[in-house]
């Protein structure tokens, strides 16, 4: 089974003097595991919107999302050993306490909290009360480098955006998950997070960092339907146009997407992954994850993306494609 084997990178011996880091950084992107198996569900759990989610799981999704795929993915990641793993939401399906606990165990097997960053998805926020209780179980995977003590962390509604600096890569976690009415799966960043995000981007300006936003809902309107949209995507794009962002990693669409967003501040790679546990009705929806090989080069950055796709026959992941992209340094 072939493992991670990117094409030769362009010679970076002429990299700018004084770079924060000259070595490559391997960032893995995983999304939407939807871990709903091994959970007892009572009728008391199925209040409001959850009854629709439960019926959808029993009638369709339980055959689509498979636990053995996540096991194969975890083993594949262990062999590749990326520097960091980003998980962009929907670890649970109904947001039940047992699902949060199962997801915590899976995260612990995936890696140390310092090497794994999580942002929540809309399925993790079916109800407000369960969301806050459940997020406590993932707090070490969601907290900023300078986070508050755990007892304050659990009760604070203003945890995001989170900030983690790994070498020259700045990981910014944005929360778009909140309870919505039935048949809606929209996400919202909100004014508080947008103001904090602007402060973060201002502080990062001129520091020669590769900035990555981790978010569940895609920031581009044509990736998902109107009922699944990010309601304040235009405000986010405005910030990106003002300060620049090198990469946005998202989930939610349950399909593989790779877009380029061009703004006054430069070029942003916007990449989405399908569900990490999905057999997939079509190739673009089959379980896959990405390894982004990030390295500084003269005048900017080089990103080599390797896509690893699930093979049901044999239960393993293999390399399907490589993409190479060069980005000029931000104008800000």
Structure confidence by residue, pLDDT tens digits, 39-60:
676 666 667 677 666 566 556 7
Q: What pLDDT was estimated at residue 159? A: 84
Greater confidence (235 vs 179) lies with 235
Write down the pTM of the prediction.
0.89
HEC assignment per residue over 68-81: HHHHHHHHHHHHHC
Q: How many CA atoms lie within 13 A of 165 on its CB side?
A: 13
Please tell me the CATH code under which domain 25-328 is placed. 3.60.21.10
| Tens of pLDDT, residues 101-142 | 999 999 999 999 999 999 999 999 887 666 667 888 999 999
Separation of alpha carbons 79 and 81, rounded Å: 6
pLDDT cut 70: percent of the chain above it: 81
Q: What pLDDT was estimated at residue 328? A: 82
**How far, CA to CA in Å, does 21 sit from each of 15, 39, 207, 267?**
10, 44, 12, 21
């Amino acid at each position: 089974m072939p493992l991670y084997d990117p094409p030769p990178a362009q010679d970076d011996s002429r990299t700018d003097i004084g770079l924060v880091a000259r070595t490559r950084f391997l960032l893995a992107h995983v999304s939407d595991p939807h871990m709903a198996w091994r959970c007892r569900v009572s009728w008391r759990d199925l209040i409001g919107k959850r009854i629709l989610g439960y019926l959808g799981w029993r009638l369709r999704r339980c055959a689509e999302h498979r636990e053995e795929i996540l096991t194969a993915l975890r083993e594949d990641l262990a062999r590749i050993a990326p520097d960091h793993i980003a998980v962009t939401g929907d670890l649970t399906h109904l947001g039940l306490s047992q699902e949060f606990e199962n997801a915590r165990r899976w995260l612990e097997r995936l890696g140390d909290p310092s090497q794994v960053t999580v942002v929540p998805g809309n399925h993790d926020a079916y109800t407000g009360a369960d969301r806050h209780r459940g997020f406590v179980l993932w707090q070490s995977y969601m907290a900023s480098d300078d986070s508050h003590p755990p007892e304050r962390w659990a009760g604070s509604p203003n945890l995001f955006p989170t900030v983690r600096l790994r070498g020259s890569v700045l990981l910014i976690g944005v929360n778009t998950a909140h309870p919505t009415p039935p048949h809606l799966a929209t996400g919202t960043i909100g004014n508080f997070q947008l103001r904090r995000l602007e402060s973060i981007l201002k502080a990062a300006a001129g520091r020669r960092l590769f900035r990555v936003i981790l978010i569940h809902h895609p920031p581009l309107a044509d990736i998902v339907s109107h009922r699944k949209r990010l309601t304040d995507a235009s405000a986010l794009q405005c910030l990106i146009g003002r300060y620049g962002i090198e990469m946005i990693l998202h989930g939610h669409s349950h399909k593989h997407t790779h877009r380029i967003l061009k703004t006054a501040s430069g070029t942003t790679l916007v990449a989405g992954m399908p569900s990490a546990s999905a057999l997939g009705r079509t190739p673009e929806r089959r379980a896959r994850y990405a390894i982004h090989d990030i390295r500084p080069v003269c005048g900017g950055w080089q990103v080599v993306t390797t896509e690893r796709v699930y093979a049901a026959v044999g239960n393993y992941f293999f390399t399907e494609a490589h993409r190479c992209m060069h980005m000029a340094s931000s104008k800000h």
